Structure 1
Amino acid sequence: MTVPVERSRSRRPVTWLTLIGVLLLPAVIGGILVGALYNPTDRLDNITAAIVNDDKAVELNGQLVPLGRQLTGGLVKGADDQPSNIDWVISNDADAAAGLKDGTYTAVVTIPENFTSAALSTRPGETPERATIGVETAPNARVVDGAITAQLATTASTVFGSELSSQYLTNVFLGFTTLGQQLGTAASGAHQLADGAGQAATGATGLQDGLRQLSNGAGQLATGAQQLAAGTGPLADGAAQVAGGATALAGGTREAAAGVGDLAGGANGIADGNQALATNVNALADRIPPQFAQVATDLSKAAPQVNDALVKAAAALQKAADDCTGTPAQCDALRAAAADANAALPQATATVTQIGELAGEAAQLPAGIRSIAEANQQLANGARGLAGGATKAANGLYTIAGGIDGLAGGASQVADGTRQLGTGAAGLSSGAAQVASGASGAENGAGQLADGVQQVASGTSSLADGLDTAVAQLPTYTDAQAKNLAAIVADPVSANGVSDSLFGTAAVPLLAMAVLWFGGVASYVAFQAVSARSLTSRRASGLVALRSFAPAAIIGAVQGLLVAGVVQVASRFDWGDWALFALVCVVAGVAFAAVNQALVALFGGAGRWIAAIVGALALAANIVSTVPPVLAGLASLLPTSPAYASMLGALASSGGVGAGIVGLVVWAALALIVTTLVVVRRRTASLRAAAQPA
């Protein structure tokens, strides 16, 4: 059965078989392309790739860490959100090279032997090194096979690296918390040390005041003893005179008794003076605070403890500086503080030791003063006894005249005792002066002690404040917070909406445009672009052109519907979007038929060659954005450009559908005008030219 359509380059009519072939050609080509390329990630198991793990495990904290083995397992297992994966084969270097050469493996991923050591090179004391893996693709692999393999390997490496970075950063953030806790403990100890040093400074100031009072009292004691020594001289002389005149006064008993009475009065005066001196010394001892000796003793005993605390504080600060894992500025501040503390430590410990020695000596002062007071009291008691004896002697002289000789001997003894009393009083004065001088020196030392301890307290307080500032500036994290923050810092930027499909939304309009264009080319491979009966036809030239266009236009419209149907079966777009896409396909099929008719009518067989170039250029310009600007500019002027733009707008909701349809209509109208002009020219040609097929 035949149809009344002229065959290209033949006068035989076109059969229905030819029409069906031309009609189904774009649908078959489109179905093959879409079926082969759509959603390739669902069929990754058709790709066989080898993994060569040459990595050597590294011992970390007593355990072997085989990161290469873990990465191999991650590649083989695939991702949880990926339903399929490449068919991975764990191999060795020789087998992988042979399989890559004979085509058994599409690609080979090699994990080098230093992978684990490089990945763990971020540990302290090691030189950081980046862990890398190698990807090699077979020479006979498909175009995109290597890209798919490399992308999967790169993604796995990136995720694996992010996990390592996250673990490292987690330890760093938790280290901040530990460092803050340690510095907080050191700050608490420094505060306690500062408080103790402040109390010691207060005690040293009290010691200085007590020593000042002791010095003043000892000076008064020295003055009184000096006066006592001066008063005993005349007493001794008088006793000597009594002894010398006792024999001569044998007859003057009453005069001797009177003299002895005077002696008794002088002895009472001496007793009163000694009693007053003892009272003054006891008063001086009472003015010394009761806790003075205990405070001085405690201060002497506390000196080694203060030195130990200073040494431990300096060591703790040095350890915190050595273990610092914070920012460089924070670590430098800690190291500077540790250096200052270590530099000041010898002077501080020496000062504290001197303070302890002075405090130990000062603790003996109250007991010495009490001993002096007891000696004066004994001297007063002796003088009282002397006065009583003299009184008895005077009474005896009134009754016993013969005891005058004994009185002379006693008077001589009294003279000697009085001289001894003067010597003792002079010694007491000298000792009291020495006590006063020593107390004054001790007062100056106590002042220096108070100043030194105050400096220690001030420096320790500054150290504690600095540690508090460091603790306040150091962040603290819980385990959950550290892990969350480390995950974000290890991978701070993510992209949403990025498709991992190699056959995206833009590929469907591109393939549809291409197959419809070549469908139009095929139509005018089978059909005549200009009827061979145009010279004999009575119809107008425009109608003659439309008569040759009508079969291809109908076929182009049906091709558009078929291609749209194939796309919907494979892609399952929204029905509203698909209906608009189908409309654009129909318009494109009709417009492409008109343009191909004009090309063949105007250029003959060369028109089909030009149409093939147009199709190739349309594909090349829309596959990748790196196409040269010249080719992109040419492609934008072709009739395929509005078709692709309107199809893409229909499926991707990017707009431009109306403008694209208008562009296709304009191209179809221009093409029909060109074909009509060719028909007009053919009608004026010679009979020989009219007889030749187009």
Structure 2
Amino acid sequence: MTVPVERSRSRRPVTWLTLIGVLLLPAVIGGILVGALYNPTDRLDNITAAIVNDDKAVELNGQLVPLGRQLTGGLVKGADDQPSNIDWVISNDEDAASGLEDGTYTAVVTIPENFTSAALSTRPGETPERATIGVQTAPDARVVDGAITAQLASTASSVFGTELSSQYLTNVFLGFTTLGQQLGTAASGAHQLADGAGQAATGATGLKDGLGQLSDGSAQLATGAQQLAAGATPLADGASKVAGGATSLAGGTREAATGVGDLAGGANAIADGNQRLADEINGIADQIPPEFAQVATDLSQAAPQVNDALVKAAAALQQAADDCTGTPEQCDALRKAADDANAALPQATATVTKIGQLAGDAAKLPAGIRTIAEANQQLADGARGLAGGATKAATGLSTIAGGIDGVAGGASQVASGVQQFGAGAAGLSSGAAQVASGASSAEDGAGQLADGVQQVATGTSSLADGLDTAVQQIPTYTDAQAQSLADIVADPVSATGVSDSLFGIAAVPLLAMAVLWFGGVASFVAFQAVSARALTSRRASGLVALRGFAPAAIVGAVQGLLVAGVVQVASQYDWGDWALFALVCIAAGVAFAAVNQALVAVFGGAGRWIAAIVGALAVAANIVSTVPPVLAGLSSLLPTSPAYSAMLGALASSGGVGAGIVGLAVWAVLALIATTLVVVRRRTASLRTAAQPA
């Protein structure tokens, strides 16, 4: 059964079988390509690959860490969101090598023995090393098999590495929190140390003031004791004279009772002298402050406490110097102050001890002076009583003479005691002067100590403020915050909208364009581009060209509809997008029929060769963006370019459908014009051609 369509290179008409074959050729080719290539990741289990785990586990905190085994398990298990996974076989080096050679395995993933040790080399004290895995593809593997295997292994390694980085960074961020807490504790301790140093400086200043008062009081004590010693000498001389007079008086009394009146007068004189001496001694005693004895006693008792305080202050200063965490200048100043304090400590404690001893002796001075004054007062009273008795009782002169002898002895004792008192007062004056000098030296040392401790307090306060600033600048994180931040830092950039399919949305328009183009080529392998009866036909040249174009155009339109149907069955696009895509496919089939007709009409059999090159160039230029610019430029000038752009715009909603259809229409019109010109040329016969028999 035939149809009224001329067969190419033959006068026989085209049969329905040929017509059906031409119609179905693009649909069959497109169905085969789409079925074989669409969503290859859903059929990963058709790929068999081996995993060789040579990794050696590493002991960490008493536990073995087998990261190679974990990575192997992750590859075998696959991803939760991936419906299919490669058929992984856990193997060894020998089996993997033989399987790769005989085709049992498409690829082999090898985890080296140092994988775990390298992955954990970020621990402190170790040299960081990158953990790597090896991927080897069989020589006879399919084109994309190696890429799929390498991509899965690379993705698993990347995710595994990101997890390790996240754990490491989590520990780092939590370390910031711990560091901030420790610095906060150090800052609190530094503040407390600064407060203690300030209090020590205040105490050292108070010690300086107290030593100044001690120096002044000791100087006054030395002056008073000196005056007391000076007054004791005349008192001793007077007592000696009293003793001599009493002896003479006793002898005179025995010789003459008539000298009683003189004795009474002498006794009154003695009483007056003793009274004056008692008054002078009382005056000296009155010059001593009432609190002198208590102050001297307190000073004597405080001496050990002062020594303990000095020892503790020097030890605290030395401890602060040893634990110094400030700047080098602050630490050097603190150590110098500690050295000076330790050097001055023995002299200071010895001086304070001596001061305590002298103060204890001085505490007894007021009571002794009062005792002497009372004795002189009693002596004065007794002399007055003696004078009165001498006046009233002459008969007792003998008895009085004996008493006067006793008085002479007592006066001698008084003179001796007063001389001893003068010597003691002179010693007291000298000791008090030494106390005053030592207290003055101690006052200077206390002033230096106060200055040094104040510098320590200032430096420690600056250190505490610096630590507070550091604490404020160090971030702190909770466990959840540290984990979240570590996850982001370990994988800071992510891409959305990236498909993991090797057969993307642009592949369907490319395959549809290619099969429709080669469908147009097939049409004019079977059909005649220009009717063999063009020369004898009475129709216009344009109608003759259209007569050859019409069957191919109808076939191209049907081819476009069939290809669109195959795509919809495989891809399940939205019906609105598919309808627009089907319209573009029909337009492309018609336009490709016109272009292939023109190529065969103009170039003959070479036109089919040119059409094949055009199809190959169109496919090659649209597979990858790394195509050379020359080929990309040539591809954009081909009739396949607007068809591909329109198909892609219909499925991807990227626009350009209208421009693509207009481009196809322009190519179709230009092709029909070229075919018409060929018809015109063929209908112009020369005389030689006309003379030849038909």
TM-score between both structures, scaled by the size of structure 1: 0.91
- Code of the aligned partner of 1:392: G
Partner residue in 2 for 1:46: 46
Q: In 1, are the aligned partners of 2:318 and 2:335 still within 8 Å (CA)?
A: no
Contact (CA 8 Å) 1:219, 1:436: kept in 2 or not? yes
**What's the secondary structure of 2:364's corresponding residue?**
helix
Q: Does 1:347 align with 2:346?
A: no
Distance 1:314 1:425 in 2: 47
* SS at structure 1 position matched to 2:136: strand
Structure 1 residues 314 and 55, CA, compared in 2 at 3 Å: closer, same or farther?
farther
Match of 1:187 in 2: 187
* % identity of equivalent residues: 76
| Aligned amino acid, residue 684 of structure 1 | T
Query: Is 2:381 the counterpart of 1:374?
Result: no
Distance 1:621 1:691 in 2: 50
1:211 alignment counterpart = 211
Deviation at 1:430, TM superposition (A): 1.3
Taking the TM superposition and a 5 Å limit, the aligned residue runs for 1:484-499 are 484-499=484-499
Displacement, 1:396? Answer: 4.0
Change (3 A) 1:41 1:24: same
Q: Which aligned pairs between 1:87-166 and structure 2 lie closer than 5 A?
A: 87-166=87-166
Give the drift of 1:301.
4.0
Corresponding position of 1:626: 626
Higher mean displacement: 455-464 or 658-667: 455-464
Per-residue CA distance 1:43-68 (angstroms, 9 max, x = gap): 11111111111111111111111111
Contact 1:5 1:13 in 2 (8 A): yes
Deviation at 1:118, TM superposition (A): 1.2
Q: How well do the aligned residues superpose, as a CA RMSD in angstroms? A: 2.8
User: Aligned pair 1:608/2:597, yes or no?
Assistant: no
Q: Does 1:388 align with 2:387?
A: no
Give the deviation of 1:463 after TM superposition: 1.6
In 2, distance between residues paired with 1:664 and 1:691? 42
> Are the aligned partners of 1:275 and 1:377 in contact in 2 as well (CA < 8 Å)?
no
- Choose 344-353 or 228-237, whichever is displaced more: 344-353
Deviations 1:231-279 (A, max 9, x none): 2222222232333344444244444444444444444444444445445
CA contact (8 A) 2:643 2:661 kept: yes
Q: Which residue of 2 aligns with 1:326?
A: none
Q: Which segment is superposed worse, 681-690 or 503-512?
A: 681-690
1:379-433 deviations in whole A, cap 9, x for unaligned? 3213312431453255346244422333333332222222222212211211221
Aligned position for 1:411: 411
Q: Which amino acid aligns with 2:140?
A: N
Paired with 2:227 and 2:323, the residues of 1 have a C-alpha distance of 61
Contact 1:235 1:266 in 2 (8 A): no
Aligned to 1:550: 550
Q: 2:180 touches 2:471 (CA, 8 Å); kept in 1?
A: yes
Instruction: Give the direction of change, closer, same or farther, for the CA distance of 1:342–1:432 in structure 2 (3 Å limit).
Output: closer
Q: How far off is 1:203 after superposition?
A: 1.8
C-alpha distance in 2, partners of 1:451/1:240? 58
Say which SS state the counterpart of residue 5 (structure 2) adopts.
strand
Equivalent position of 1:673 in the other structure: 673
Match of 1:328 in 2: none
Asked if the contact 1:263–1:387 (Cα under 8 Å) also holds between the matched residues in 2, the reply is no
Distance of 2:52 and 2:520 partners within structure 1: 51
Alignment of 1:260-279 (within 5 A): 260-279=267-286
Question: Structure 1 unaligned runs (5+)?
Answer: 319-336
Unpaired segments ≥5 residues, structure 2:
254-258, 391-395
SS in 1 for 2:59: strand
Indicate conservation of the 8 Å contact 1:278/1:374, yes or no. no
The number of equivalent residue pairs is: 674
* CA distance 1:215–1:505, change in 2 (3 Å): same
Structure 1 stretch 247-256 or stretch 516-525: which is displaced more? 247-256
Do 2:334 and 2:456's aligned partners in 1 also have CA atoms closer than 8 Å? no
2:375 is aligned with what amino acid?
G
Q: 1:342 to 1:213 in 2, by over 3 A?
A: closer
SS at 2:227's partner residue?
Answer: helix
State how far apart, in whole Å, the 2-side matches of 1:561 and 1:308 are: 101
SS at match of 1:108: strand
Q: Displacement of 1:306 after TM fit?
A: 5.8
> Which AA in structure 2 matches 1:550?
A
What TM-score, normalized to structure 2?
0.91
Q: How does 1:436-585 map to 2 (within 5 A)?
A: 436-585=436-585
Asked if 2 retains the 8 angstrom alpha-carbon contact of 1:229 and 1:422, the reply is yes
Shift in Å, 1:311: 6.9
- 8 A Cα contact 1:219 1:432, kept in partner: yes
* TM-aligned CA deviation for residue 298 of structure 1: 5.8
For the 8 Å contact 1:285–1:366, the answer to whether it is kept is no
Tell me the alpha carbon deviations over residues 202-225 of structure 1, each in whole angstroms, 9 at most, x when there is no partner: 122222222222222221221122
Letter in 2 for 1:564: A
Provide the rounded CA distance (Å) in 1 between the counterparts of 2:365 and 2:537: 164
C-alpha distance in 2 between matches for 1:419 and 1:309: 51
1:285 corresponds to 2:295: no
Task: Tell me by how many angstroms 1:355 deviates.
Answer: 7.8
The amino acid across from 1:442 in the alignment is A
Amino acid at match of 1:480: A
Partner deviation per Cα, 1:466-488 (whole Å, 9 max, x = no partner): 11111111111111111111111
Aligned residue runs from structure 1 range 303-314, under 5 A: none
Match for residue 401 of structure 2?
Answer: 402
Q: 1:217 to 1:634 in 2, by over 3 A?
A: same
Residue 84 of structure 2 corresponds to which residue in structure 1? 84
Cα deviation code 1:347-393 (max 9, x no counterpart): 34445556876479648857743541323312321331243145325
Deviates more, 1:681-690 or 1:257-266: 681-690
Which has the larger displacement, 551-560 or 422-431? 422-431
SS in 2 for 1:59: strand
